[in-house]
Structure 1
Amino acid sequence: MTARAVELRADVAIAGLGLGAIAAAMAVVRAGRTAVMAGPESRLGGQVTAQLTAPLDEHPHIETAGCSTSYRAFRDGLRAEYGGVVNPGGGWVSRICFEPLVGERVLAAMLAPAVEAGRLTVVTGATPIVVEQLGARIAAVRFRTPEGELRLAGDVVIDATETGDLLPLAGVDWIVGSEGRDAFGEPHALPGGPDSRAEQSCTIVAALVRDDGPHEVGAPPEGYAELRDAQPFSLTLANDADHEHTFPFFDDGVPPGSFWSYRRVRDPRQVGGPDAAIINWHGNDWYGSPLTAEPERTRADARRLAVAFVHWLRTEAPRDDEAGTGYPELRLAPEVSGTPDGLAETPYVRESRRLASARPVTELDLAPRAGLARAAAFDDAVGIAWYHADLHPRVGGHSSVYAPTAPFQVPLRALVSERDGAPVNLVAGAKNLAATQVAAAAYRVHHGEWAVGEAAGALGAVAVDRRTSPADIAGDPSAQVALQVALLRAGVPIVWATDLGPRHAAFVAGSLLAAHGGLDDDRLRRLEVRPDEPADTEALAALSRAAATLAARFDLEAPAPPERAGASWADLARTLADPILTAADALGHPEARHGVTARPSRHDPE
């Protein structure tokens, strides 16, 4: 440790190197601001790389809708690396299964222009150890690195670490594990009160290659029999609804597919090279101790479990041909993992410390609603995602949960602490948003974490532009709208509309109105808003009400409903939203307010 820390300063300082951190950094730089990001891993990418969970967990509409322009660029970049092959691994868990090292190349390429221009600095191998506070703000974050101490300073600080590491360092109220069903009445929460140790399992993922002939397997690892029997190792998956399915090992003849093709990341029939898969299965899910409370023990025990499960696959797993047991032709593959031993550098993290809140996002907010296409609406939405609430076994032996959700949003209120005295410039930028354990299990997947990080980065950039704090923006109705408009102009959807994408002329106006109650009953029943069809009386009334609501946030007169017979929904939305967008744009860029006065920040320097 050096006597004096090396200091890096940018407009926004980001702790973390995963997908949330990457999306946040891209949003900051895209908005014309500078960023610095640092995390303990040796490489960029989080889930995709250091954790080896490269196949993307996504929703059914992802090929055409339901993500931001930047996330789509990431997906397109992956396919381009394989010459346009749609699913290079052919795995059935995702529409894009690919090798972690390919994901790392794509992500690095996406950040490269900002790095080369000096707008972004990336530091690997840096563990946060101290948060320095000055009054109501975080002044800097200190990191431990192999070379000594590093100090990152920024006007806004984003915690996009894998386990919410800045929350305890900053003295922010946080929670981990189960809130308990008594807290919010969530059907899939654990019965009773809170249990902080009932954290979701983590996994040391293994990268395997299937060779033509067998390899020498060697002796069982220490504790093998105990781990095999306690887990137990099998090719069967089960959930809390007593549903279970046993998978063949290689035979893909029975839907949904085989164990091997579940997360296969390289299919030689499509792209040549070795037959490779990453192993993220019940067999190597570690739920014997919590990662946040006991990180060293948990990492070590999860690694031992992964080694034991791989040994079982090679020696005792049932063979499809029933000719003995085990597949000795499998081997750990450093050339796939990018690590010396073929195992993930860090555990796959399913649960983070989360911002504590009196009104977090809950399972009830995300649940399907009869006759409606979307989950409960948030008028402060800053992104969208969709995945079921996928809880793996939790510490204490609680079974898996697979709870349905409807297409949902990311609310701004979930990104900042609501407690008086908490740092006003700290933003949650990954799995640490203010959501319950059940709800966070729906946000935690790749595109969900990206959406949270992108919103956090945009929030940070707007706060810097306006010389205010993220907390003040979250509490200011007009500033919220200005942030939403900035996100929409950057190609980030804030409301679910599968036929109103970023390339549509009415994307910004229509999405903004839709997010504030502008969908009539018919459009609430489906994800399509049919923007180019003529709008009827009910559609115009809903759009007009939303425009009036938004205008009031800027102290503007409600726009008069246009009298245009046969006008399309999109044309009406653009006409009604025009004065609101003008006001929001001016508020978002203080140097060009054109008479629109920004509300002063209670944290502005005097």
Structure 2
Amino acid sequence: MTLNRRSFLRATSGIAGALSFSPWLLAAAQNSDVGADVVIIGGSLGGCAAAIAALRRGKRVVMTEETDWLGGQLTSQIVPPDEHGFIETRGANASYRKFRNDVRDYYRQNYPLTDAAKAKPNLNPGNGSVSRLCHEPRVAVAVFNETLAPYLQSGQLTLLLEHVPVQADMDGDRVGSVTVRSLKSGDEKTLTAPYFIDATELGDLLPLTGTEYITGAEAKSDTHELHAAEVANPANQQAFTVCFPLQYVAGENFVGDKPADYDFWRDYVPALTPPWSGKLLDLSYSSPRDLKPKKLGFDPTGAATAGTLNLWNYRRIVDANNFLPGSVPGSTTLVNWPQNDYVLGNLIDVSEAEKQKHIAQAKQLSLSLFYWLQTECPRADGGAGFPGLRLVPEMAGTTDGMAKYPYVRESRRILAEFTVTELHVGAQQRAEIVGKAEKNMKAAPFADSVGVGSYHIDLHPSSGGNNYIDFASLPFQIPLGSLIPRRVENLIPACKNIGTTHLSNGCYRLHPVEWGIGEAAGCLASYALETKATPRAIRASADKLADFQRGLVAEGVEISWEQS
């Protein structure tokens, strides 16, 4: 049967219910004080993985989230997963692969897919080239909600959406409590637990708890990294991006008013070293590996673009060919491109007013890019602009069609018991250290490994004026020492706030690695409670460390590539 737009909405009406917890599921304590075994501040991808791990081990969990969507970079930031090429079979935890399969099953059960699409074991709903699983963010939200619903119903999990941390009380080197405030009502709750997990996008608990941390770029004299800066600059941080879904409907004209800051962004040339290729709103950019000007293509019909990457296909999250004729208005891509990377300021360690100013300006950049694509983007036929492009607010979960939260590439990072550097994972520097050809290299082995990952070291242009820094790394491990602060005993990072450097963060920041970090954090807090040993003591004891790692492996955590 051919479904029209209204039929499609009826067929997927279950999605709307899955996107918001019903009142009995949101059984957040009415009291101002809420206790648990583990408090997770931040519903990022790492936060969700940490919660699932701790709940699986029978722990009582309170989790907060700044937005009304769980999942961080995968959902509220709308970024399809960036993954390595082996992801379907190795190099990620079993729970991460289960999540990916659950996303595919959700499409099969709730969306009007073609028979051919339903039959694909490795269904890619958008057929985007960046990932083997490019999908709508709201489907990931629905999967998280379904996964957590039994724990919410039983009371094992308390979820506080649209809450942010505002204060922490310390008892020596331990976090005693964290106070969170509702963004809707202004009411505050004080959360207590033996262990706290910082799963925020920016490492928000670190300054509140006085946990020592670092930001920005370190000096080569401090880290001895081949590609490090000569002089440290804490304010030199990677660009963030306000992403947005973009749909194309042939024959339509959705061109509206020009954005307020369009004239500025239309003529803006990033002041970077080495120089950018020209204007930011252009189909040329600096190729990340050699920084030479490189031409990109854009054609929302999905057609090939003269030997260049078609940006439309790159992060496409809906491919109309996967759906029954007439069931979707058109294909949809996710715009997270060089053209909307924002480098004019940071979100970390600035006033709230400055933070919001930069987010607003980054949103204006994205709106300007959208308008430029509608009106001025060069077409293969010699014309300009694609007026059939439209924003898709219903996919973003917002009124303006922009993501709920900026896509953050760099966070505060704890000063850890062990810091991963380029020396441990960079292909070129490993070759220089070991003295073998790069093709025979392996990343440094970590005896305290609690996970694995693989991605090149990928730093986008920065607020300090750096162009891309992009070079090869080697499949790596996640050392437990990078999750343990040097001083504070009961605070565990769960995402980009672990002990990495400005450079090594570039390969530890992607979706499956953040999931692995979060799962390790949730398991670590649980094991610490079960053994009455601190994370520091667990790492220091050969017997306890080995026992902890055996438990991880039994739960489907990959701690070595040989194990894969």
Greater alpha carbon shift after TM alignment, 255-264 vs 138-147: 255-264
The CA distance in 2 between the partners of 1:271 and 1:469, in whole Å, is 51
What do residues 435-477 of structure 1 show as CA deviations (whole Å, max 9, x unaligned)?
A: 0011011111100110110001110000111123223223322
- 1:82 corresponds to 2:104: no
Letter of the 1:465 partner, please give it: E
Aligned to 1:96: 133
The CA distance in 2 between the partners of 1:169 and 1:255, in whole Å, is 50
Aligned to 1:182: 221
**Do 1:355 and 1:433's aligned partners in 2 also have CA atoms closer than 8 Å?**
yes
Aligned to 1:383: 451
- 1:56 corresponds to 2:81: yes
What is the CA distance between 1:357 and its match in structure 2?
A: 4.1
Aligned to 2:549: 484
**Do 2:377 and 2:385's aligned partners in 1 also have CA atoms closer than 8 Å?**
yes
What is the CA distance between 1:235 and its match in structure 2?
A: 1.9
Q: Decide whether aligned partners of structure 1 residues 256 and 405 sit closer, same or farther in structure 2, where only a CA change above 3 A counts.
A: farther
- 1:297 corresponds to 2:357: yes
The CA distance in 2 between the partners of 1:277 and 1:258, in whole Å, is 11
The CA distance in 2 between the partners of 1:367 and 1:6, in whole Å, is 48
Letter of the 1:95 partner, please give it: R
What do residues 552-605 of structure 1 show as CA deviations (whole Å, max 9, x unaligned)?
A: xxxxxxxxxxxxxxxxxxxxxxxxxxxxxxxxxxxxxxxxxxxxxxxxxxxxxx
The correspondence for 2:284, drawn from 213, 236, 242, is 236
- 1:398 corresponds to 2:450: no
The CA distance in 2 between the partners of 1:363 and 1:124, in whole Å, is 37
Indicate the SS of the match to 2:503: helix
The CA distance in 1 between the partners of 2:313 and 2:261, in whole Å, is 29
- 1:362 corresponds to 2:421: yes
Relative contact order, CA 8 A, sep 6+: which one is greater?
2
Indicate the SS of the match to 1:220: coil
Aligned to 2:147: 110
The CA distance in 2 between the partners of 1:188 and 1:228, in whole Å, is 32
* 1:215-364 equivalence runs, <5 A: 215-231=253-269, 232-238=280-286, 239=288, 241-250=290-299, 251-252=303-304, 257-272=309-324, 273=328, 274-294=330-350, 295-322=355-382, 324-357=383-416, 359-364=418-423
**Do 1:39 and 1:128's aligned partners in 2 also have CA atoms closer than 8 Å?**
no
What is the CA distance between 1:16 and its match in structure 2?
A: 0.6
What is the CA distance between 1:129 and its match in structure 2?
A: 0.8
Indicate the SS of the match to 2:553: helix
Indicate the SS of the match to 1:78: helix
Letter of the 1:74 partner, please give it: F
**Do 2:49 and 2:522's aligned partners in 1 also have CA atoms closer than 8 Å?**
yes
Letter of the 1:252 partner, please give it: A
What do residues 276-317 of structure 1 show as CA deviations (whole Å, max 9, x unaligned)?
A: 111001111101001113322221111111111111111111
The CA distance in 2 between the partners of 1:176 and 1:256, in whole Å, is 36
* 1:417-432 equivalence runs, <5 A: 417-418=485-486, 422-432=487-497
Aligned length: 490
Letter of the 1:235 partner, please give it: L
* 1:29-68 equivalence runs, <5 A: 29-53=55-79, 55-68=80-93
Letter of the 2:411 partner, please give it: S
Aligned to 1:437: 502
Aligned to 1:195: 233
The CA distance in 1 between the partners of 2:378 and 2:40, in whole Å, is 46
Greater alpha carbon shift after TM alignment, 287-296 vs 444-453: 287-296
Q: Decide whether aligned partners of structure 1 residues 7 and 481 sit closer, same or farther in structure 2, where only a CA change above 3 A counts.
A: same
What is the CA distance between 1:216 and its match in structure 2?
A: 4.4
What is the CA distance between 1:248 and its match in structure 2?
A: 2.0
Letter of the 1:152 partner, please give it: L
The correspondence for 1:23, drawn from 49, 55, 59, is 49
Q: Decide whether aligned partners of structure 1 residues 68 and 373 sit closer, same or farther in structure 2, where only a CA change above 3 A counts.
A: farther
Indicate the SS of the match to 2:167: strand
Q: Compute the TM-score of the two structures, normalised by the length of structure 1.
A: 0.78
Q: Compute the TM-score of the two structures, normalised by the length of structure 2.
A: 0.84
**Do 2:176 and 2:192's aligned partners in 1 also have CA atoms closer than 8 Å?**
yes
Letter of the 1:234 partner, please give it: D
**Unpaired runs of at least 5, structure 2:** 1-29, 109-117, 270-279, 432-436
Aligned to 2:24: none
The CA distance in 1 between the partners of 2:306 and 2:378, in whole Å, is 16
Letter of the 1:417 partner, please give it: P
**Do 2:216 and 2:502's aligned partners in 1 also have CA atoms closer than 8 Å?**
yes
What is the CA distance between 1:255 and its match in structure 2?
A: 6.0
**Do 1:424 and 1:472's aligned partners in 2 also have CA atoms closer than 8 Å?**
no
What is the CA distance between 1:254 and its match in structure 2?
A: 5.3
Based on CA coordinates, which of the two structures has the bigger radius of gyration? 1
Indicate the SS of the match to 2:35: strand
- 1:462 corresponds to 2:487: no
Indicate the SS of the match to 1:82: helix
What is the CA distance between 1:340 and its match in structure 2?
A: 1.1
Indicate the SS of the match to 1:38: strand
- 1:409 corresponds to 2:477: yes
What is the CA distance between 1:358 and its match in structure 2?
A: 7.3
What is the CA distance between 1:116 and its match in structure 2?
A: 2.3
**Unpaired runs of at least 5, structure 1:** 502-606
The CA distance in 2 between the partners of 1:269 and 1:151, in whole Å, is 50
Indicate the SS of the match to 2:36: strand
Aligned to 2:539: 474
Greater alpha carbon shift after TM alignment, 343-352 vs 216-225: 216-225
Aligned to 1:531: none
* 1:497-508 equivalence runs, <5 A: 497=562, 500-501=563-564
The CA distance in 2 between the partners of 1:256 and 1:93, in whole Å, is 15
Percent of counterpart pairs with the same letter?
37
Q: Decide whether aligned partners of structure 1 residues 11 and 359 sit closer, same or farther in structure 2, where only a CA change above 3 A counts.
A: closer
What is the CA distance between 1:215 and its match in structure 2?
A: 2.0
**Do 1:426 and 1:470's aligned partners in 2 also have CA atoms closer than 8 Å?**
no
Letter of the 1:96 partner, please give it: L
Letter of the 1:399 partner, please give it: N
Greater alpha carbon shift after TM alignment, 384-393 vs 220-229: 220-229
Q: Decide whether aligned partners of structure 1 residues 292 and 5 sit closer, same or farther in structure 2, where only a CA change above 3 A counts.
A: farther
Aligned to 1:131: 168
Q: Decide whether aligned partners of structure 1 residues 222 and 161 sit closer, same or farther in structure 2, where only a CA change above 3 A counts.
A: same
**Do 1:91 and 1:263's aligned partners in 2 also have CA atoms closer than 8 Å?**
yes
